[in-house]
Structure formats: structure tokens, C-alpha cells
Structure 1
Amino acid sequence: MTTFPRLAAFALLAGLVAACSSGSGGGYVAAGNGRQNAAPLTVEQLSAKVGCEPKMQVDAADIRTGYCKTPDGEFFVSTFTTQAGKDAWMDAAPEYNPHLVGTLWTVLSSRQVLDLLKERLGGDLHLTDHRTKQMRTVD
């Protein structure tokens, strides 16, 4: 995958966002299944849905990021403890990589890989610069 060096650099960005985030450990919401008070999915749970055992890159209080490599491709899975933490991460996300976005989680990779992962993970595909607030999502 040609974007791997950029993805690796982005894992470092995730750690920086975690260091700057002020979220608390509370504030969990449903994990995309419509049930209130359900615990959000973990990096491990999301990765298992696509047949991967993640190699943890960031394991902070507010954000966890794991790297996966499967037959579908290489990608990073990040989970957040608060919506504010996820929003901070999204604001810092690079415009040159699309993201698959769910409740308190994101997956970063190429569009081709995300199209394959979306079938099993769900979420919304964000294709444009997050900072413009004019995101285009694909269902």
C-alpha cells in the first residue's frame, strides 16, 4: 500500500491529539447499534470484525489506535472515550486520506480498503477535508 508512510505518521498525530485532548473517561454512547448506554466498541472488537489482531500504536486515556494488516489492506483503527476527543481527532485528520467514521471510532486507510471494511463495520465514509465542515459521505 503506497500510503503506509503517511498512515504511520498519522498514528503519531493520534498520540498528539490524545495528549492535547481534555476529555474525561465518561461520556460513552451507543456503539452504532441504537442501544442507549451500550459500551462503545474497542479497537480489538472493531479489528476482530474484519479479521485482524491489532498492533497497538497509541494506548492513551482518551484515544486508542491499532494498526491492522489483512488481505483487504493496511489500516488504522482509532477509538475515543468522548465525542469531543473524536471531534479533535477529526479536525486534525489529513485531507488526503478518506476515513470510515462510526460512533466514537474511525478507520484510516485508502478508499479501496475502506470500501471493503465498510461492508463489515458500517459507519460513514468521509472523503473530503474535515476542517471545511463540508464533508461528503458515501453510503
Structure 2
Amino acid sequence: MKVKQLILATAGAMAVLALAGCSFGDAASKVPPTATGSLESLAAKAKCKPAIQTDTDTIRQAICTNSDGKFVLVTFSTDRGQREWINEAKDYGGYYLVGRKWVADGSKDLVTNLRGTLGGDIEIGTDHHAHGG
């Protein structure tokens, strides 16, 4: 009888933790505050030298390569411009690390690793298996 009570108490405690949004070994607790700044400052934090592809008043985009691989780093002048870009880009699939007025686009592993440096939230695009040519 005491074993059954212990099991029920343990299960109840785990349910309370789950409902509270806690988990054992929560990786999110290792995410730093979301980085801010220019494309160059974000690239420096990500340990890459940006190869600028687009440089306008509203959007700056660069190809970056660091020890984890190659990714696209984009900064925006407005939150709305950023959200419009993300919504359109997500139609093509992919993984996006999203910060305040910036996005890093790369592989799942690269984006996950980059999050440990830049913070932010990961968004996943829609996976279209078949595209018309």
C-alpha cells in the first residue's frame, strides 16, 4: 500500500511540474537573452564575417559561415518588415532563429546552436516536398 501511495505522489508531482511548464534538464534555461544590434554586431557574436548580399534602408542580408556551417543573417528596420519576411520565407520550409528585428536562417542544428549564442526563438517553416518547376 505504501508503494502505491509513493507512486501516486511521484506521478502527481510530475504532473504539477508539467502543468507549470517545467521539465527536467530544460534546454531553454541555457538560452541567453536575445541579442540586439546591427548585422555586423550580431555576426560578430555568432563568430562569422558577413558577406553582405542586400543593403537597403529596410533590410540588410548577409551570408555567414562559422564553425557550425553556413547561414543567412537578416536585419530589418521595422518589426512589421521582419514579420512579413518570415511569413513569406516560412512557405519554403527551413529553420529560423528570430530575434528583435533580426533572423538567422539555417539548418536545424545550426539554428539550435546559434540560439545558445544569440538567444531568440526558433520558428519552423512549412515543409513543401513537391515544388512545381
In 1, distance between residues paired with 2:34 and 2:65? 24
Q: 1:94 offset after TM fit, Å?
A: 3.4
2:67 pairs with one of 48, 65, 71: 71
Q: Does 1:47 align with 2:49?
A: no
Note if contact 2:89-2:125 (Cα within 8 Å) is conserved in structure 1.
no
Q: Does 1:60 align with 2:52?
A: no
Structure 1 vs Structure 2 CA RMSD? 1.7
In 1, distance between residues paired with 2:54 and 2:109? 25
2:116 pairs with one of 85, 107, 119: 119
Q: 1:122 offset after TM fit, Å?
A: 0.2
1:117 aligns to what SS in structure 2? helix
Count of aligned positions:
93
Structure 1: state its 5+ residue gaps.
1-30, 34-39, 130-139
In 1, distance between residues paired with 2:40 and 2:72? 12
1:81 pairs with one of 77, 81, 87: 77
How much identity, in percent, do the aligned residues show?
32
One-letter identity of the residue aligned with 1:87: R
How does the TM-score come out when normalised to structure 2?
0.65
How does the TM-score come out when normalised to structure 1?
0.62
Moved over 6 A (4+): none
2:42 aligns to what SS in structure 1? helix
Structure 2: state its 5+ residue gaps.
1-32, 127-133
1:114 aligns to what SS in structure 2? helix
Structure number with bigger Rg = 2
Q: 1:32 offset after TM fit, Å?
A: 4.3
